[in-house]
Every structure is written in structure tokens, then in C-alpha cells.
Amino acid sequence: MLLLASPALLVVLALVVVPVGWFLGLSVYDGGFTIEHYRRIFVEDVYWRSFALTFRIALVVTAGTLLLGYPVAYAAARLARPWDVLILLCVVLPFWTSVLVRTYAWLVLLQRTGLVNQLLTGLDLVGEPLALVHNEFGTVVAMVHILLPFMVLPLYAAMKKIPDELILAGASLGGGPMHVFRRVFLPLSLPGVVAGLTLVFVLCLGFYITPELLGGGRTIMVSMVVSRNVELYNQWGAASAVAGVLLLAVLAVFFVVGRFLPLDRLLGQK
Amino acid sequence: MAEAVGERVEISEASKAYGPVVALDRVSLDVAPGEFVSLLGPSGSGKTTLLGILGGFVQPSGGSIRFGGRDVTWTPPHKRDVGIVFQNYALFPHMSVGENVAFPLRARRQPRSSWGERVRRTLAMVDLTGYEDRGIHQLSGGQRQRVALARAMVFEPRLILMDEPLSALDKQLREAMQIELRQLHRRLGATIIYVTHDQREALTMSDRVAILRNGRLVQIDRPDRLHDHPADSFVAGFIGEATLLPVARIDDRTVSLAGTALVTARPVPAGADLVLAVQTEKLLLEEGPADGRNRLSGTVVDTVYQGESLRVFLRLADGTGLSLRQPSHFEAVRRIPGVGQPIALSLHPEDTIVVPRTEG
């Protein structure tokens, strides 16, 4: 057994254990053993604000992708042949274009003289163009768009696994469409919801390009703190410490969530 | 619960076309309150389509459906008050047995306080007392079948539809469940419409059996009548173990099978293309005087032992193949001639069934 698993173990060792161990090592060893980098994170306000901002954006974006993604996945899972493919194509097509391109596209759309502001001022809905970008709002909008496929695809996969017969059975037993959705479809789609939430939330925490370009220099997420420490100050130790704290924070979040949500029941019906 | 009266079901001219494909072709069928009617046919005969139309999942292209006099042709499934047992049970995997059975009560907004007692009573009827808290995954196939049944009858529907509910069970369990379903039907009093492709199952359980072929209703009759008075060669071949042999009409009561004249008790149908349907159990090894019975003689080709009976394959003088069944008790087995030996047979005029050949 161990022999059969050894290639997989080697890959995990080479790609996960070694790099993570390496940067964790860097965070406590800077010419000698030190906890200075960690101390700075816990006392300096900048770090705290960045962590709080990162988790807030991650929560909002994750919620946003769920709200937008659930109906899309539902439609794709329940509609007949040409339509389901069309919807999935619309979801996946942007997925195949570069994040950078999509981020710049949002910049074009949301800037002061962008399409959205032109429309709003043209219709006299607002007097002055709105500040839609170079702030947290623009960052969130673009991140929701970019991360949407990571929500829709697991949702779709889970919904596709719900047998049609169960929906028919629900109706035949007297359940109206809303009742069947609430009591049968929704609970059975929860594994997809949990998978999508996890995926999007984790991706949000480490997101870099979009907040960097659309945040206007004020939306400093943790990934940007790491990058600045390396590129501006050449502080590998500080950068590693920030990354280490982020990793710990994520693990803590999942530990707490796991304690309160019956994940076993949601993910595997056994 | 036992005194519920079944629903009268009137199907008139029900049709369904999927593009150019006609799945159901003007089928009319009246089911009396409390009757157990099976829809029997090979796959693609339209029986499942008809069940879908009754359940409200399939919109008919034409015709109408009435339950107890009300037109329900366009009523959505959840307003039909019909219990349905699906082929793969369609139990909700995220609910316990009790929650599954309580689903129709919850959907109907029945007072929560009444659920426990009704679920308990219904589970008792299907021999699952005390199973409320079990998960669906902990149950065997037979137990899931019973839960599906309990769920379909807990709200006391006057009509229950079943779509091959026993097809996933092994033979012994299936036969035991057939008898149980029959008894349950008597106790419930509900009308049951049952889809199956297993003729034995249909004959065992039903008051009447409707035979469908290519989307059309070929014949609907009591099981014994269907067996002894098939409408045409398709029904004769589908029910029982008949050998179909072409015969020529001599007169109103006589046909010729490869030169041998056979007398029939019922008038020979009109038309030139006639078929004699010989069921294996109707053909007897000849004993004593003729007594007006039809005589046939041939040669034994093979004898196959099948447990409770033996099947004897034989050939008539002109090479026509036939087979008959003998119970496997000593007296009967002793009379079967060996392979290659001549065999003398008789067929009673009442069992000499001549039907028109089905076109197509």
C-alpha cells in the first residue's frame, strides 16, 4: 500500500511540504532565529487592516458569486439540451481568457468615462459620474465576475447528480414547485454549495491582480502586502510571515466552520 | 384507512407524439373504482408514456383524462392526489425513512401533530414498524421498495400508479411482493394502475390487464380471458409460452394444421392469415379414447428438466416444432417417450385457439 502511494507522496512532498516548509523557515530565520516578523504583524495596524479587508472582501465576493451563480447553475442543470450547453459555454468562455484581460475590461467599463457611467449620466440617473473603480467596490465587482465559474461549476456538478425522478416524486406526492425546491433540490445541492464556497473563498484570500489594478492603491489585500514586502523592501522574511499567518487564518476558519456545519452530512450522504 | 374508495379513471383517446414518433395512439381505457389494472407491453409500447400522462408529467398531444369525473388532463402533478411508486423508488436520500413517508403530509400542510401516528401506521402496513429513524442507505432493496410504497399511500390517495416497482428485486422477493401488493390492494381499496413488462406479474396481480403494442391498446381483459381468448397472435405470443403455427381455414369450426384437421370450440375468425396458438400446458400426452379431442403425432426432440416441470420439445411429421409441459412428478414423467421416440398428443377443442395474425 505504502509502495503504491509513494509516487503521490513524493509529489505532495515536492510540491507542498517543501515549499511551505521553506517559506515558514524563512519567516523565522533571518540571519538567526527571530520572531520579529510575526511580532510586527500583531502590533502594526497596517497588517491588521489588510487582514480584515481581505477577509471582508472574500466574504462579500463569495456571497456574491453564490447569489449570482446558484440561479445560473440551476438553469444549466435543469434546462434541456441546447440551452444547458449554451449557459455553460457563457460561464466557461470568459474563464478561458486571461484574468489580466478581464480585469482591464472592467477598468474600461467602470472608469469615470466608462460605459456604465456614460449610461447612468446619459439617462440622467446621476449628475456626476460615480466612483465605480479604483476602490473596494470595483475590486469586488470584478472579483465576483472572475471567480463566478469556480462557483457555478461545482454547483452544476452537484445539481446534475440530483435524479430527475426525485423532483417528479416530490411533485407527485403533493409538493408544489417551491416546496420541492426547498425540501428536495436545495438540500441535495448543498455539497455543491459547500464546494463552491470553499473554492471561491480560498481563491479570494490570495487574489492579487484584480485588487492591485482596480483597488486604486487603497485596497491593500494580504497578497499585495506580501508582494510589496518582496518587491519594494526585499523582505522575504516579512513576506513569509504574512503568508504564514494567512495560511493559519484560513485553516482556523475551516476548523471553526467544520465545527458548526455538519460537513460530513452535507458532503457525503452515508 | 382501509375503507378508502378507489378513484374511477377514464382515459379517452389519449395520444402522445414526440415529433414524428407516436408514443401513444388514441388509447381509451376505463378503470373502475378499486380496480387493479396492469399496463403490459414490451419496451416502447407506450405504457410508461400513458403512466406519465396519468401522473401529470407528460402532456398528452390529444385526448383527455378524468379522475372520478373531473377532467385532470391539464392538472399539474402536485394537485392530482395520486400516489406514485417509481421504478427506482425515488426515495429522498437526505431524509430518514420517517421523513420520506411524512413528505406528502408536510407538502399537504397537514398538522405536524398527526404525522407521527400516520407514518407509524403506514409503516406498519408495509411491515417496517420502528424503521422511522433509519437512513435510506441502510435499507435493502426490498425495504426501500416498501418505504416507497408507504410514502405513496400515507396520504390515502384514491389512485396509486406503479411503474415497474418490483423490477429491481430478485425473483423470490419479487414474487413474494406480488402477493403482498395484491393483499395490500384489497385492504386499501384504492384503484391501482400498474406498469410492467412481465406478463406473469401482470396476470398474478391484476383484475384486468391492458396489453399495449406500438402505442396502441391491443386488448384489455381479465387474466384468464387474456390467456384463453387472445385477440390476436401478438397477445397470444406475449402471454404464456405459446407456439404460433400458421393454419388454413376449412370451415367455421375447423382448421388445417399441415394437413391435420383440428376442431375448435369457438368460431374460427374471418380472414385468411390465421395462426394457431398452442400453449405448452394445453398440449397433453394422449390417454385413452379420443372423446372428440384433436389428435397430433410427432417425434420427441429434447426434454428439458426445469424443476417443478419438464418441457418436452417435439416435431410433427412435417417438421413443425412444438413444445409441451409435464409436471415433474413420477407418473407424468414416466409417460414421456425418450428422445427420437414417437409421441402422441391431444389438444382439446376448447384449447384450440385460432387467432388472426397481427399485422406488422
Owner of C-alpha cell 383440428: B262
Give yes or no: residues B270 and B127 share one domain.
no
CB distance B212 to B47 below 8 Å: yes
State whether the Cα torsion A202-A204-A205-A209 is positive or negative.
positive
Q: What is the CATH number of the domain that holds B108?
A: 3.40.50.300
Write down which residue in B204, B227, B250 finishes a domain.
B227
Mean pLDDT of B162-176: 88
> For B90, which of A163, A175, A187 is closest by C-beta distance?
A163
Of B188, B207, B227, the residue that ends a domain is B227
3-state secondary structure of B198: coil
**Portion of chain A with pLDDT greater than 70, in percent:** 96
Instruction: Among B227, B252, B285, give the residue marking a domain's end.
Output: B227
CB contact under 8 A, A175 and B78: yes
| Partner A contacted by B137 (CB < 8 A) | yes
Nearest-angstrom CA–CA distance, B11 and B165:
22
Q: From B130, B122, B87, select the one nearest B104 (Cα to Cα).
A: B122
Same structural domain for residues B98 and B85? yes
* Residue B76 covered by a domain: yes
The two beta strands, B70-71 and B82-85, are unpaired
Q: Is residue B4 part of a domain?
A: no
Which residues in A80-107 are b (16+ Cβ under 10 Å) and which e? eeeebeebbeebeeeeeeebeebbeebb
Q: Are both B44 and B75 inside the same structural domain?
A: yes
Residue A269 has pLDDT above 50, yes or no: no
Residue-wise pLDDT for A140-173, tens only, equals 999 999 999 999 999 999 999 999 999 999 999 9
* CA-based nearest residue to B161, from B169, B150, B152: B152
Task: Let me know whether B131 and B200 are in one domain.
Answer: yes
Long-range contacts of A78-83 (CB under 8 A, 24+ apart): A78/A159
Assign residue B284 the CATH number of its domain. Answer: 2.40.50.140
Residue pair B36/B179 in contact (Cβ under 8 Å)? The answer is no
The answer to whether B292 contacts chain A (CB < 8 Å) is no
Residue B59 has pLDDT above 90, yes or no: yes
Judge whether residue B15 has pLDDT over 70: yes
**pLDDT value at position A97?**
86
B156 with B239, same domain: the answer is no
For residue B3, being part of any structural domain is answered with no
Report pLDDT digits (tens) over A95-117.
888 889 999 999 999 988 888 88
List helix spans (H) across A79-98: 81-95
Burial bucket for residue B318 (CB in 10 Å: 0-12, 13-18, 19+):
exposed
Phi, psi values for residue B134, rounded to 5°: -70, 150
The model's pLDDT over B235-263, given as tens digits with 9 standing for 90+, comes to: 998 888 888 999 999 988 899 888 888 99
ipTM over 0.85: no
Q: What's the rounded Cα separation, in Å, for the pair B191 and B56?
A: 17
Task: Report the mean per-residue pLDDT for chain B.
Answer: 90
Is B338 part of a structural domain of the chain?
Answer: yes
- For B137, which of A166, A183, A270 is closest by C-beta distance? A270
Q: Which domain holds residue B346?
A: 229-356
* A134-147 pLDDT per residue, tens: 888 999 999 999 99
pLDDT of residue A264: 60
Are the beta carbons of B77 and A172 separated by less than 8 Å?
A: yes
* A183 touching chain B per CB within 8 A: yes
Placement of cell 406478463 in the chain = B199
Please determine, for residue B358, whether its predicted confidence score (pLDDT) is greater than 60: yes
CA distances from B285 to B262, B296, B320, B329 (A): 16, 10, 17, 14
List the domain boundaries for chain A.
55-219
CATH topology of domain A55-219: MetI-like fold (1.10.3720)
Residue of B nearest to A166 (CA): B90
B243 and B205 within one domain: no
Cβ neighbours of A189 in B, within 8 Å: none
Q: Which residues of B268-286 are buried (b: 16+ CB within 10 A; e: fewer)?
A: beeeeebbbbbbbebbeeb
| A24-43: pLDDT as tens digits | 888 888 778 888 888 888 88
Q: DSSP string spanning B75-135?
A: --GGGS-EEEE-TT----TTSBHHHHHHHHHHHTT--HHHHHHHHHHHHHHTT-TT-TT-B
**What are the chain B neighbours of A183 within 8 Å (beta carbons)?**
92, 103, 106-107
B343 and B243 in one domain? yes
Residues B207 and B274 in one domain: no
Q: How confident is the model at residue A263 (pLDDT cuts 50, 70, 90)?
A: low
Q: What is the mean pLDDT of residues A74-91?
A: 92
- Please report, as a single letter, which amino acid is at residue A160: K
State residue B70 phi and psi, 5-degree precision.
Answer: -85, 140
For every residue of B226-274, DSSP letters joined together read HHHS-SSHHHHHHSTTEEEEEEEEEETTEEEETTEEEE-SSPPPSSS-E
User: Is A163 in Cβ contact with B107 (below 8 Å)?
Assistant: no
Out of B82, B92, B135, the one facing A172 most closely (by C-beta) is: B82
Our CA angle for B214, B220, B221, nearest 5°, is 150
pLDDT recorded at residue B219 = 94
CB proximity A259 to B under 8 Å: no
pLDDT of res. B288? 66
Q: Which residues pair with B255 in a beta bridge?
A: B249, B262
- pLDDT higher than threshold 50 for residue B33: yes
Question: Which residues in chain B have their CB less than 8 angstroms from residue A175's CB?
Answer: 78, 103-104, 107
pLDDT bin (cut points 50, 70, 90) of residue B214 is very high
Q: What is the pLDDT of residue B290?
A: 67
Cβ neighbors of A201 (< 8 A, separation 6 or more) are A58, A59, A62, A253
Which value, to the nearest 10 degrees, does the dihedral of the CA atoms of residues B51, B56, B60, B64 take?
A: 90
- Which residues in chain B are contacts of A269 at CB distance < 8 A? 93-94, 135, 137
Report the residue of A159, A161, A172, A194 to disrupt the B interface, i.e. the one with the largest count of B CBs within 10 Å: A172
| Structural domains in chain B (count) | 2
Q: Please report residues of A whose CB lies closer than 8 A to that of B152.
A: 173
Segment A188-238, tens digit of pLDDT: 999 899 889 988 998 999 898 888 888 887 888 888 888 888 888 888 888
Task: Enter the C-alpha cell of residue B9.
Answer: 379513471
CB contact under 8 A, B94 and A168: no
